[in-house]
Amino acid sequence: MFPTINIGPFVFPTAGIVYLLGVYLALTLIERAAKRLELNVEATYGVAVVGLLVGIVAARLAFVVEYWASFSQNLISIIWPLTSGYNVAAGLFFGAAAAFFYGRFKQLPFWSTLDALTPGLLTAFIAISLADFLAGPGYGTLTRMPWGISVFGIRRQPVQLFEIILGLAALGVWWQVVKRGAPAGRPFLLSIALYSAGRLFLDVYRDNTWLTADGYHIMQILALAVFVGCLVMLMRMETAVALKNETDQQEG
C-alpha cells in the first residue's frame, strides 16, 4: 500500500490528497449535474458547500464540547491543529441539516436537488474507498482467489476495489436514468438503492468492519435500511405517477 507520497523532499499522506481530490471532483460533478438538470447551479453548488463547511465545523465543535476539559487548558488547540479531533456523527447530522435548510431557503426543488447531489455523494464514497485502499486502514478477508491482493504478505480480498467498482456502477446508473429524462428523484433513488444493496453484499468481505455486540455487521444493517427506504420512496413515486396518468386519461 501507499500511505504516503514523496514529492522531492516533501512527504504527503495519500489519504489526505485523495480526500481533497475527491471533494474537488464531487463539487465539480454536482455543478455539472445541476446544469444538466436545469437547476439553479449556484444555489445547488451552495447546498453542497454549505453542507460540507457546516459539517466540518460542527464535527470539530462537537469534539471540542465533548473534551472541553482538555481544550479549556489550551484554547488555541480548538483551531490548531485541525488534522485530527472530529465527531463524525455530529458533522453528518448538522451538515445534512444545514444543506437541507439552505436548499429550502433558496427554494430549490427537493428531489431534483438530491438528483444533482448524487454524483457528488457517490464520488465522495469512491474517494473514501480509494483512500482506504491506498493508505491501508480497511482491508479484506483472507482469500485464495486469483483476484486477491497481497497486503503485507497476506492474500486478501480487494474489498475497497469492489466498492470503487460499485460506486462507478451506481454513477453509470445515475447517468443512464438522467439521460432518459426520468422524473425527479428517480436518479437519486435508483443509484443509491444500487449502491446500498452492493454495500450490503460486499461488507462480508471486510475483515475489520464494525460489528454489533452480537456480531452483526453495522454497515450491512445501515445499507439494508437505506436500500429498503429507497425502494419505498420509489414505490410511492411510481404509484403517484401511475395514479396521475390514470386521472389524466379519465379526464381526457
Partner 1 sequence: MLKSRFEWTIWIVVAALLGAAWIFVSKEEVKEPSILTLTEAPIVGHLAPDFTLQTPIGETVTLSEFRGQPVVLNFWASWCGPCRVEMPFFERTQMKYNGQATVIGVNQGETADIVQDFGVRQNISYPLLVDDDNTVNLDYNVHSLPTTIFIDPDGVVQEVIVGIVNQAVLEDRIEGMMRAE
Task: Rank residues 91 and 119 by Cβ distance to partner 1 and give the closer one.
Answer: 91
Report d(CA 35, CA 45) in Å as an integer: 10
- Residue 49 binds partner 1, judged by CB under 8 A: no
**Minimum distance between the CB of residue 59 and partner 1, rounded to whole angstroms?**
13
- Residues 102-131 as x/- pattern, contact with partner 1 by CB under 8 A: ------------------------------
Q: Would you state the cell numbers that stand for residue 137, as one nine-digit string?
A: 486502514
Q: What are phi and psi of 149, to 5 degrees?
A: -115, 150
Residue ranges in 163-192 that form contacts with partner 1 under rule CB under 8 A: none
Task: Rank residues 38 and 80 by Cβ distance to partner 1 and give the closer one.
Answer: 80
Q: Which residue has the cell 429524462?
A: 181
Is it true that the peptide bond before 81 is cis, omega within 30 degrees of 0? Answer: yes
Name the strand (E) or helix (H) holding 151. strand 149-151
Q: How many residues bind partner 1 (CB under 8 A)?
A: 58
**Minimum distance between the CB of residue 172 and partner 1, rounded to whole angstroms?**
21
Would you tell me which residues interact with partner 1 (CB under 8 A)?
1, 3-4, 6, 11, 13, 63-64, 66-67, 70-71, 73-74, 77, 80-81, 83-85, 135-139, 142, 151-154, 197, 200-201, 203-204, 207-208, 211, 213-217, 220-221, 223-224, 227-228, 231-232, 234-235, 238-239, 242-243, 246
